[in-house]
Structure 1
C-alpha cells in the first residue's frame, strides 16, 4: 500500500507504524517520515532538519522513483548518524560531569567528617545511602615491642628457636586490622640462664 495523505490520516496508528520509515513527497521536496511520536504526531526529516508534525496538517504524496527514495534514505541515515554521535558525546560529557559532581559531594562529606562536623557512622550512612564509594583510610602503624619471658626447662638453643618461630604480636584486640598486612620480625637479643 502506498502512503498517501488519505492513508496517513485514516490508518490506525498501530498499522501506520508498520509502514514507517517512509519516503514521501512534501511540498516542493522529498522527506522521510521516521516514526509515530504520538497518535497524531509524526517525526519527519525534511529540508535537512528533523521536526515533529501533526498528521492532520501534513500533505504528502508517494515517491515512485527508487533513486530518489534511496537518496532520501541515505541523507536521512547520515543525519541520524550525526545526531546519534552528537547525542553520545553529550551523554558522555553529562556522565563525566555527574561523576565529578558525585565525587565532589563525597569529598565534601569526608572533609566534614575529618574536621569533626560529621561522625563516622553518619558519614558511612550518607555514603551508603547515595551509593557512593565508602570512606576507607589506610593507616600504617609501625611499632616496636621489647620484653622478656622465662622458660622452666630446655636449652638456650631450643628457647631461641621457639622464640624466633612462635613469638608474635597479638593484634586481636585492635580494630579493623588487615591481617594480610601484619608484618613483623622477631630478633632474640639475648639468651641467659637466671
Structure 2
C-alpha cells in the first residue's frame, strides 16, 4: 500500500513539473529589477495572483520598486517580482503603442508644468519689479516733501540698487522764422521744401545737460516762389 501511494505521488509530481517548465518555453523568468536594465521592454509579469502584460519603465532608486506600464497606467511593483519577455508580436506591438501614448501624454504634462512654473516665475519677477518701483517712488516723494535729504535719498537708492533720482525739466519750444533760398534754375519749390525739412536742424550744443535721447522736434516748412 505504501509503495502504491509513493508511486502515485511520484507520478503526480512528474505530471505537474512539466507545466511550470513549458508555460513560458525558451524564456527564463527574471526579476523586474533585472529587466529594468533595458527600459521599454514588453514583459509578462508572473505575479502570484495574476498575469499582466506590461512595459518596464525604470527602477525607482532607493524604493525597492520598479515602474511599469499596465493597460496604459503607470504603476509601481516590487522589484523582486518575476517576469518574462513578451514573444507574441501582436502583444508586443500593442504594448509599444500604449507606451508611446503614455510617453506623449507625460511629455505634454511635463511641458505644461514647466510652462506653469515659468509663468509663476515671471509673475513673481513682475511683482518684485512693481514693489521696487513703489519703494523708489515712495522715497522720492518723501524727499520732495522734505522728509529725506538728497544725500540720504541717494544712499538709500544705491543701497537697494534702485535707479538714481534725477529730476527733469521738460522743455517745450516753438521756433518760427524765415529765410530765402536761391534755387538752381531747374529747382522747384517742392525740392526746396524737401531740402529744408531734411537738413534744417536744432543746435543744443550750448544748452547745459540736454538729454539728447529725449530730443524730438518736427520741421514744418512752407515754401513759396518769390520775385525780387
Structure 2 length-normalised TM: 0.52
Is the 8 Å Cα contact of residues 3 and 24 (structure 1) preserved in structure 2? no
Is the 8 Å Cα contact of residues 113 and 123 (structure 1) preserved in structure 2? no
Cα deviation for residue 109 of structure 1 reads 1.3
Q: Are 1:84 and 2:75 counterparts? A: no
Give the aligned partner of residue 41 of structure 2. 22
**SS in structure 2 of the partner of residue 36 of structure 1:** strand
The number of residues matched between the two structures is 151
Q: Are 1:121 and 2:164 counterparts? A: no
Cα deviation for residue 72 of structure 1 reads 0.5
**Contiguous gaps of at least 5 residues in structure 1:** 126-133, 147-156, 158-163, 187-194
Give the aligned partner of residue 4 of structure 1. 29
- Give the one of 104, 115, 130 matched to 2:127: 104
Cα deviation for residue 143 of structure 1 reads 4.1
What is the root-mean-square deviation in Å for CA atoms of aligned residues? 4.0
Compare 90-99 and 47-56 and name the one that shifted more. Answer: 47-56
Q: Distance in 1 between matches of 2:30 and 2:106?
A: 28
Check 1:184–1:74 CA distance in 2 against 1; reply closer, same or farther (3 A cut): closer
Check 1:165–1:71 CA distance in 2 against 1; reply closer, same or farther (3 A cut): closer
Is the 8 Å Cα contact of residues 23 and 32 (structure 1) preserved in structure 2? yes
**SS in structure 2 of the partner of residue 124 of structure 1:** coil
Cα deviation for residue 87 of structure 1 reads 1.9
Q: Distance in 1 between matches of 2:36 and 2:137?
A: 62
**Contiguous gaps of at least 5 residues in structure 2:** 1-25, 143-152, 181-199, 220-228
Superposed CA deviations along residues 33-84 of structure 1, whole A, max 9, x for unmatched, are 012333754221113321333422x221221101101101101210121121
- Give the one of 170, 180, 194 matched to 1:141: 170
- Give the one of 195, 199, 206 matched to 1:170: 206
Superposed CA deviations along residues 123-151 of structure 1, whole A, max 9, x for unmatched, are 436xxxxxxxx89x9x78224599xxxxx
Is the 8 Å Cα contact of residues 24 and 30 (structure 1) preserved in structure 2? yes
Q: Which entry has the higher C-alpha Rg, 1 or 2?
A: 2
